[in-house]
């Protein structure tokens, strides 16, 4: 069965029976027969075949994702058996949302590489939520804990948010002395498809929700910061993303007496997320320990056994 699965994967990756045959040093008719037997065993058609094209059916697409993960797990299991117990080596893959990945995570990873030179790091920067059970990723960095209770999670840092704008923008526009004034301003927002955007403000016992709008929104923070630095509007953003711009005077805090947030209670802490069995690999455990140690500030740090 595993040989047939590998043949199926080769056909998908190369795009034809003949190309897969070349990869396996077989003839195309042998590859075709193996795929025929696989389809008979599964009871479904995996490919729509024509003289010019070979396309996956919907069951074929589903089977491809499963097979790719299964064969990768088999290869990883073999690599682990060949390792010295506890030795940190092999591939470690991380997915993180773009702005945090580039600004905070990526600068730390060379230190991990220096500490564990036999480890190979794969970093994917993607603002979409990756399904850890159906992808090759070992660790995810996300806002908030996962909805899937079977995943393990560890809070890294609170996502403190700040309201900022360029001094020139503030000098040319109506003054902002209270949250309601933002209704008259160009507000740069994280994109929420077909949804109104509200910013939440708290000061002592006061809580205010303001509907905001503007001429620019984006799925990631970096384009929004660029617009704000160019004097194009008011921005609510994670403080860690604009600390340099604030130190350089390119952005200044607006309404500093108020705590501004994306949501009523908080703006979502940043978490590490992983599958329980992934942490059994020494390289994954080492990365979890490393990121918790380097990014957890002002909190009690867990022992290694807490990250299993």
| Extents of the domains making up the chain | 2-81, 88-158+268-307, 161-261
Tell me what pLDDT residue 246 has: 96
Q: What is the DSSP string of 118-153?
A: TEEEEEEE-SSPP-GGGSS-SEEEEES--S-TTSEE
| Residue 299 CB partners (closer than 8 Å, separation 6+) | 155
Instruction: Give dist(CA 292, CA 155) in Å, integer.
Output: 8
Q: Give me the pLDDT at residue 165, please.
A: 98
Residue 164 DSSP symbol: E
| Calpha distance 179→181 (Å, rounded) | 5
Reading the chain (308 residues) residue by residue, the pLDDT tens digits are 778 888 888 888 888 888 888 888 888 889 889 899 988 989 999 988 877 778 899 998 888 888 887 877 776 666 555 555 567 888 999 999 888 898 889 999 999 999 999 999 999 988 788 888 888 899 999 887 778 888 899 988 888 899 999 999 999 999 999 999 999 999 999 887 667 899 999 999 899 999 999 999 998 888 999 999 999 999 999 998 999 999 999 999 999 999 999 888 766 788 999 988 888 889 999 999 999 999 885 443 444 435 65
What pLDDT, on a 0 to 100 scale, did the predictor assign at position 191? 82
- At 279 the pLDDT is 85
pLDDT at position 266: 65
pLDDT value at residue 302:
40
What's the pLDDT at 86? 62
Tell me the CB-side half-sphere exposure of residue 231, using CA atoms within 13 A.
8
**CATH topology match: 2-81 vs 88-158+268-307:** no
Question: So what's the pLDDT on residue 53?
Answer: 78
Q: Which CATH entry fits the domain spanning 161-261: 3.30.1330.60, 1.20.1260.10, 3.40.309.10, 3.40.190.290?
A: 3.40.190.290
Predicted confidence at residue 258, as pLDDT, reads 96
Name the CATH superfamily housing domain 88-158+268-307.
Periplasmic binding protein-like II (3.40.190.10)
What's the topology of domain 2-81? Answer: Arc Repressor Mutant, subunit A (1.10.10)
Distance CA(72)–CA(101), nearest Å, equals 25
């Amino acid at each position: 069965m595993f040989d047939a699965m590998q043949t199926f994967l080769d056909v998908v990756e190369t795009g034809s029976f003949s190309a897969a045959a070349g990869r396996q040093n077989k003839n195309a008719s042998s590859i075709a027969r193996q795929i025929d037997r696989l389809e008979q065993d599964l009871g479904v058609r995996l490919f729509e075949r024509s003289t010019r094209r070979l396309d996956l059916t919907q069951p074929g697409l589903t089977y491809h994702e499963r097979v790719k993960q299964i064969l990768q797990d088999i290869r990883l299991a073999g690599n682990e058996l060949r390792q010295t117990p506890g030795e940190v080596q092999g591939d470690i893959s991380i997915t993180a949302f773009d702005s945090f990945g580039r600004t905070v995570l990526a600068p730390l990873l060379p230190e991990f590489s220096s500490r564990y030179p036999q480890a190979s790091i794969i970093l994917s920067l993607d603002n979409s939520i990756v399904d850890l059970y159906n992808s090759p990723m070992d660790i995810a960095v996300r806002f908030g804990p996962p909805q899937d209770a079977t995943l393990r999670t560890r809070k890294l840092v609170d996502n403190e948010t700040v309201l900022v704008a360029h001094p020139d923008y503030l000098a040319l526009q109506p003054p902002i002395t209270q949250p309601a004034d933002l209704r008259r301003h160009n507000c740069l927002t994280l994109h929420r498809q077909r949804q109104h955007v509200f910013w939440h403000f708290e000061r002592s016992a006061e809580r205010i929700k303001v509907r905001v709008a503007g001429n620019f929104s984006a799925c990631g923070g970096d384009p929004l910061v660029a617009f704000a630095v160019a004097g194009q509007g008011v921005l609510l953003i994670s403080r860690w993303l604009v600390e340099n711009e604030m130190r350089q005077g390119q952005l200044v805090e607006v309404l500093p007496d108020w705590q501004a947030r994306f949501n009523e209670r908080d703006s979502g802490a940043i978490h590490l997320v992983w599958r329980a069995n992934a942490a059994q690999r020494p390289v994954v455990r080492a990365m979890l320990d490393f990121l918790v140690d380097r990014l957890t500030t002002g909190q009690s740090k867990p022992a290694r056994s807490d990250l299993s």
